[in-house]
Amino acid sequence: MVLRDPDSVPPAPVPNLHPPYTPDCPPFRIHGCYQLTRLIGSGSYADVWNGVQMDTGAEVAVKFEPIHPDVRESLPYESAIYAQLEGVTGIPRIHWSGPEHGAYVLVMDKLGPNVEELRRFCRGALSLRTVLMLGEQMLTIIEEVHARGIIVRDIKPENFAMGLVEEYKCLHLLDLGLGKLYLDPTTGKHMPFREGRGGIGTPRYASHNVHFGLEPSRRDDVEAIGILLLYLCHGRLPWQGIVAPDIPSKLLRIGEMKRGKPFADLLTKSPAFFDPFFKHCRSLDFDTQPDYAYLRNLLRRTMKDHGWEYDWEYDWWSPGERGTLLPNEYKLDMGLVQPVRHRQDVL
Ligand SMILES: Nc1ncnc2c1ncn2[C@@H]1O[C@H](COP(=O)(O)OP(=O)(O)OP(=O)(O)O)[C@@H](O)[C@H]1O
């Protein structure tokens, strides 16, 4: 072993020779301890990779947003929102975040299949029992998120995913890139009401107000959860696939449908609790806190009326009866399959 003179000049750091991140050329390791295994998916601004934490063997999800000199990255903002929500049940934990390999990187808990994948897995719609169980968890998560001064503004089934390992029965909320502080962190005052805002979030599930340019607030998150629950019950919403000459007129048309007869007709075909649910959401003022307990009670009472227990037994546990499509999470990874051995090799 060579002993170095403590007064000598320290060795120059090893230069990072890895080329900047691209999906075709991902780095082998992140922050020295997270090894990438495969690409899970790509969103509008980031790629998400499956990774393994080398010291514990735990799976993680690693989100990359390439850094461009003239584009402001969104991932540092999303990471700050996650930091504000640290410790909230149903929000994935952040293990590390920062710039590396020419990209901004966010290492977080790996989650399981999302609700949209599970809906497809269950032949396009979920049973009322499963919808009620998911709805209760969604309301609990959103209540805690709102309590930390943040609104989500992008409620959609792709952004709710089941956990993995011991959290496999619990719903989680991910992708908070459109989240916003609605309370001033120093004064605690609610943000001001504004009109003429551009569309935000996913129009299929957005509240009616958002279509008419009103600034979204807590009431719009809970209304969007109601619309998402309607979607999960029916497997489709009346404003899907409508045709309009351009995007602004399409958004307006959907907004009119949500305010008018198509929405009222949809409610008559839906379980009775939806009526008081939307009445409550639509009676709220811009800065009023929704009554989460009342909304959860509506779902609980419907469970009771049907004689159901909250037993965490979701539709996807009986794939023989309902399943048709496999969510990506459940696809067999052939790399992990042992080659079949012949009987004489075993004996
Ligand atoms: N923590 C996670 N665990 C497992 N899968 C994840 C995780 N985070 C994201 N994904 C998956 O990676 C894909 C892209 O992620 P995400 O939606 O967060 O990216 P995005 O760029 O923010 O997308 P969007 O276009 O919705 O804004 C999705 O399929 C999502 O389900």
What's the pLDDT band for 322 if we cut at 50, 70, 90?
low
> Candidates 1.10.3470.10, 3.30.70.250, 1.10.510.10, 1.10.540.10; correct CATH number of 115-317?
1.10.510.10
What's the pLDDT band for 72 if we cut at 50, 70, 90?
confident
Write down the pTM of the prediction: 0.87
154 is catalytic: yes
Q: Give the CA dihedral 296, 302, 303, 305, nearest 10 degrees.
A: 140
* Size (the chain), residues: 347
CATH of domain 6-109: 3.30.200.20
The domain segmentation of the chain, as residue ranges, is: 6-109, 115-317
Tokens of 336: 């992990």
Residue nearest to atom 17 of ligand 1 (CA): 43
pLDDT digits (tens, 9 = 90+) for 220-240: 999 999 999 999 999 999 999
Q: Give the CA dihedral 143, 148, 154, 155, nearest 10 degrees.
A: -20
Does 48 contact ligand 1 (Cβ within 6 A)?
yes
Instruction: Give me the pLDDT at residue 83, please.
Output: 95
Catalytic residue among 5, 7, 47, 154: 154
Residue 343 has pLDDT above 70, yes or no: no
ipTM: 0.94
What's the pLDDT band for 338 if we cut at 50, 70, 90?
very low
Instruction: Give me the pLDDT at residue 328, please.
Output: 54
48 Cα–ligand 1 center, Å: 6
Q: Matching CATH topology for 6-109 and 115-317?
A: no
pLDDT digits (tens, 9 = 90+) for 92-119: 999 999 999 899 999 999 999 999 999 9
Answer for the pair 6, 79: CB distance below 8 angstroms, yes or no. no
